[in-house]
Structure 1
Amino acid sequence: MESRRSVRSPCVSVCALDEKDVCIGCHRTGDEILRWTVMTDDERQQVLENVARRERSSLI
């Protein structure tokens, strides 16, 4: 039996959306946050890649 870990949420319990509808805590959009529980692991992995890109661009 194969044990597979689910992709964990990037939530850091700092929940507030900015003017671009992006959470200032986890860098997910409002839509990504709402859909997280019904996403596949592949979709969640894509969201995490988007989050990393948003984090990098917010530091500039």
Structure 2
Amino acid sequence: MLSSKNSEGAGQEVASPCRRQCCLDDQDICLGCGRVLQEILDWGSADMARKRAICTAAEARLQQRQGIP
């Protein structure tokens, strides 16, 4: 049975943003997922809140790279 304690999904697993297009630019940002190298290294031991923060930051980097405001 699924719990609906938190409507924001705090207890749900956060999927890795990895797109299997790994290539770091000169600032150590992955061109595929937008994570910086340290975020990639930290992913396995990060808690759910940290993973959500990493995903949010990575998506913002990708959008910035694509020129999306």
Same fold (TM over 0.5): yes
The answer for the alignment partner of 1:55 in structure 2 is 62
Number of aligned residue pairs: give it: 60
Provide the aligned C-alpha RMSD in A: 1.5
- The share of aligned pairs that are identical, in percent, is 32
Map residues 1-60 of structure 1 onto 2, 5 A cutoff. 4-60=11-67
Amino acid at match of 2:26: E
Greater helix content: 1
Look at both structures and tell me which one has the larger radius of gyration over its CA atoms.
2
Shift of 1:5: 3.0
Runs of 4+ in 1 over 4 A off after TM superposition: 1-4
Gaps of 5+ in 2: 4-10
One-letter amino acid of the structure 2 residue matched with residue 52 of structure 1: E
Q: Which runs of 5+ in 1 are unaligned?
A: none
TM-score w.r.t. length of structure 2: 0.78
